[in-house]
Every structure is written in structure tokens, then in C-alpha cells.
Amino acid sequence: MTYTTSESSPDWSGLLATIRKTLFVPIHPAGWPFIAVFAVVAALLSMLWVPLGWVGLVLTLWCIFFFRNPLRTVPTRDGLVVSPACGRVVSVVTDQKLPPELDRASDAGPNFTRISIFLSVFDVHVNRVPIAGTVVQTAYRPGKFLNAAVDKASTDNEMSATLLRVNDGKNEVDVAFVQIAGWVARRIVNNLLPEQVVKTGQHMGLIRFGSRIDVYVPENVVPMVVVGQTAIEGETVLADFKSKEKAREGEVI
């Protein structure tokens, strides 16, 4: 007896590929050393006392979850500023100056809008470039480890700032984003280099283990998000250089 495959038969290769992408989320390379340490500790704890081993296993699984690096569909139209991080929008503030650690801060006035996103320990912590452009400068500042959700974290906490030169369709303008450590976070990774040409949504680093990112856009660029909204890194549009609409408002339902 011979079996044939009809045209209506399922595409098993495509189905398996979908399952892999859905269930087996890629892990950021920086996470593997931590995952290995958690796994070894879990094994040692299980030798001492089995219940402790289960606790170690749960923590190991959480570590794997923390360093996940899911695929994202990045909007590609020119002028869109996408979220560099996954988390909750905690503030949208106008009349802001660039961080003083950036050289351009002394030349630019308080003519930026700052959009702040708080990352809990359950959010994806891989960071992405918010808009295509050229890296002008990166600057690191040691500091405190206050709660990243509070406004004072922007000026007092350990941070890494990146300044981009962006073409808005008419002129070249500045856009900056700042990775800020939180009270749990103790390591900021920024892989960008001066004069590097980057594209929207490109991976650029991460923060371990709870943190915040501030995005500075020119004051004439209207934010497309509201406080309390959840943002997804590489997908949620924070602002649009080409939009002429008014600032958005929102309500909790």
C-alpha cells in the first residue's frame, strides 16, 4: 500500500518552525554565564536538600526567562522612534536638557522631550536602537542604585548615555537614549561605538536586573505614548518625526 501527501496536508516544517519561534525564545549571549551559575548552584543545593534543589531550579528557570531575546517585528518607515526597551512608560516630560555627560548638552537648550520606560525584573531586558542614525557619542557615569521608577534616577543613578545624529527628512537632529541602572541592576551593557551607523530596532545592549531607559527627542516631535502604557522593545512607536497630531491622552479601563 502506498501513502501519498495531498495538497491539503499540513506543512509540518512550517509548523515546527512556528513552534520553535513561539516556545523556544532565543537567549541573549550575555545570559548564558548567569544561567550556568544558577544551574550549578541548583544542582549543589539539591545534593544538600531536595527542596532547596527545587528552589534553585525555579531560580534557574527565572534566569533563563530574564535573558530571553524574542524576535520582534520592527516598523521600518523613516521618522519612527521605537521603544528601546520593554516596560511601562512612567513619565513623558517636556523642556528637558540632554544628560550633562554628553558633549552636546552644553550646546543644546532645554528643548527635548524625555520619555522614560521602567523595566521590571519580569520584562525583556535586551535593549534596541530607537531610530536609525549615526552614533555621535557614548558616555558612562557611575552613580547610585535608586529605584529606577522614580524621576531622580535620571540624574543620580549609574547610567550609559548614547547620542545619535538623525536625519528628520530636512535636517540632522539629535536623539539620545540613556540606560539607567535600578536598585537591583548592577551591570549596564552598551555595545555601540562612535561613528557607528545603526538602524531602527538593532540590538545594542542590555541592563541587569531591573532598570530604566530615557529617550530624548526634539521638542517638536510629539510623543505617541502616554504614562502607564506598556511598551515593547523594537515594536512600540514612541514618537513620529512626521506626525502632526496632538499629544495623546489615555485612561485606564
Please list the active-site residues. 211
> What residue has cell string 524625555?
114
Q: What are phi and psi of 179, to 5 degrees?
A: -85, 125
Beta bridge partners of 220: none
CA dihedral 47, 52, 55, 59 (to 10 degrees): -60
What is the torsional sign of CA 175, 235, 232, 225? positive
**What secondary structure, in 3-state letters, does 64-95 show?**
HHHCECCCCCCCCCCCEEECCCCEEEEEEEEE
From the list 129, 126, 23, 119, the residue with the least C-alpha distance to 67 is 126
